[in-house]
Chains A and B, each alone.
Chain A
Amino acid sequence: MTSLLDTPLVRPGIGQGLKDVFRRRYLLKLLVRKEIKLRYRGSVLGVIWSYVKPAIQFVVFYIAMGVFLGLNKNVGNYAVYLFSGIVLINFFTEALNNAAKSIVYNSGLIKKIFLPRELFPVASVFVSAAHFFPQLVVLLIGCLLTGWQPTPLGIFAGFAGFLVLAMLSVGLGLFFSSVNVYFRDSENFVEMMLMVATWVSPVMYQWTMVHERLGDFWFAVYQSNPVTVGVELFHYAFWSTTSGGDAALAAPPQLFELWLPVALVVSAAVLALGQFTFRKLEVKFAQEL
């Protein structure tokens, strides 16, 4: 009984932000596991779907874009080029879309029980990372079939590209999920933004085309988008050694020396802004939902 006196009086409902998510990581694990379990409930093939869908997508790209449209002529091994960018964009799109809706979606719980609400957008990003994994496996198989050579810098580039987009997803997810409580326009805005994201990064085309048209200054602006840097890092990691000669097209100069640090700083700033906004807005979640 005396031990209780040693516990300080604290104000309930005032959280520590993302630190609380780390403290409650067991709950995070269960929330992520729940979403993954629910995704394929009642389906016979279950998790195999996660492999079949991207594999079919890859084959379609290879035949339609590479062979029929003849894009292989300009960009060697276009299917891997395209697919390595697309898997990363898929991860970002799913993570941010679900994160932005996560607070409103879990309103039943948020209105009844206090728990660190950051858990929900963060869990969405983790779930998307779990769905990203099968796509990565398919990509790696495609890479190996077309003569991929893993290099230490290439593997580093893969991890770095993923990290940049994961940080960005958490940051934007925190921001838009909290704003979404007050203005449901937020999730529509996110959908629009994500549609644009595929095109303002060199997923379908190459960075050199942008550089030629825009010149140095606007190209620098283009490059300061962390999504662009992430996609280029993935090209470097998975495509450059399979392209048959034009590997320099994978990445603009100074990708590692300049643009990766820039992307990390921008993502960290977005994360800080997201956390700040979330904490400002979360105090009234229960009554606004």
Chain B
Amino acid sequence: MSELSPITVEIKGISKQFVLRHTRSIKEALIWFLKGRKGDLSAKFHALRDVSLDIRQGETVALLGFNGSGKSTLLKHISGVMTPDEGTVRTRGRVAGLIEVGAGFHPDLSGRDNVYLNAAILGMSETQIKERFDSIVEFAEIGEFIDTEVRFYSSGMYLRLAFSVAVHSDPEVFLVDEILAVGDEPFQKKCLDKIQELVDAGQTLVVVSHDLDLVQRICSRGVLLEHGRVLKDGPSHDVVEFLRSRTKG
């Protein structure tokens, strides 16, 4: 990717600590306070440590690593769901995507209502939604079921509709967390083609996935995280090979 492309995601030295054990009532907190605040009320866990990363426009980046390495947490920092304890994250343009299939879908609403609601959640305006509505339904291959309540959908239909809304939201930075593995083969291919199309149009893509073959196909750059640190950052092919060699021991 050209060094001249503008930076769309700039991550500077971010760290994030999670509190593991929680007190959920005022009573417990009060007792702890009265006992002279002895000991920690909660255990802490470092999810990210001093992570720095610049992502430029049009890059396709895969965040790799084992469970608990911090890649989903990093993605949540880019989307703004979480804010870092230290360091800064800055993004350019609209950031949206599929963090989880159908977060924001309500089973008792019709497909149509859910498209409107979800698209608005992802930041689309009323006019944008109206313009793209037909295209969303067509891409999802939902057809006449669009006015049926979503709880009657098969899981495939559900996924297709959710994915379709997300790709049509047309953000500058598109985030995808582990969803490409679902759906049948033809639809998966259609999704990948669509993603490729968006990338060609200059969209930035950040993906979290365990599917290493898929990652190699759609992402040019790989970032390997381990225990919340960036272990390796380079062409996705190299990083995937590195990860595979480590797994073998």
Known: A4-B57, A26-B126, A109-B103. A13 touches B82 (CB 8 A): yes
User: Quick check: B117 and A287 within 8 Å, CB to CB?
Assistant: no
B154 to chain A, nearest CB (A): 21
Nearest Cβ on chain A to B180's Cβ, whole angstroms = 17
CB distance from B100 to the nearest CB of A (A): 5
Bound together, the chains give a CA A4 to CA B120 distance in angstroms of 22
Is there contact, CB below 8 Å, between B108 and A10?
no
A213, CB-defined interface residue at 8 Å: no
Q: Give bound CA distance, A10 to B29, whole Å.
A: 36
In the complex, what residue of chain B is closest to A28 when comparing beta carbons?
Answer: B120
Q: Closest B residue to A182 by CB, please name it.
A: B24
Q: Which residues of A contact B25 (CB under 8 A)?
A: 183-185
A10-B90, A26-B120 given; A112·B99 CB < 8 A:
yes
**Which B residues are CB-close (under 8 A) to A14?**
80, 83
Closest to B204 in A: A4
Query: What residues on A are CB-neighbors of B88 within 8 Å?
Result: 11
CB of B10 within 8 Å of the partner chain:
yes
Give the total of A residues in contact with B, Cβ under 8 Å: 35
**Given the complex of chains A and B, what is the CA–CA distance between A270 and B192 in angstroms?**
50
Taking a contact as CB atoms closer than 8 A, the residue among A9, A38, A185 that contacts B106 in the complex is A38
Contact B120 A12 (CB under 8 A): no
The answer for the CA separation of A157 and B37 in the assembled complex, in Å, is: 51
Measured CA separation A41–B99 after assembly (Å) = 29
B interface residue numbers (CB < 8 A to A): 5-8, 10, 18-19, 22, 24-26, 29, 57, 76-83, 88-93, 95-96, 99-100, 103-104, 106, 108-109, 113, 116-117, 120-123, 125-126, 172, 202
Q: List 13 A-B contacts (CB under 8 A).
A: A1-B5, A5-B6, A10-B90, A12-B80, A12-B89, A13-B81, A13-B83, A112-B100, A115-B123, A184-B24, A185-B26, A286-B76, A287-B18
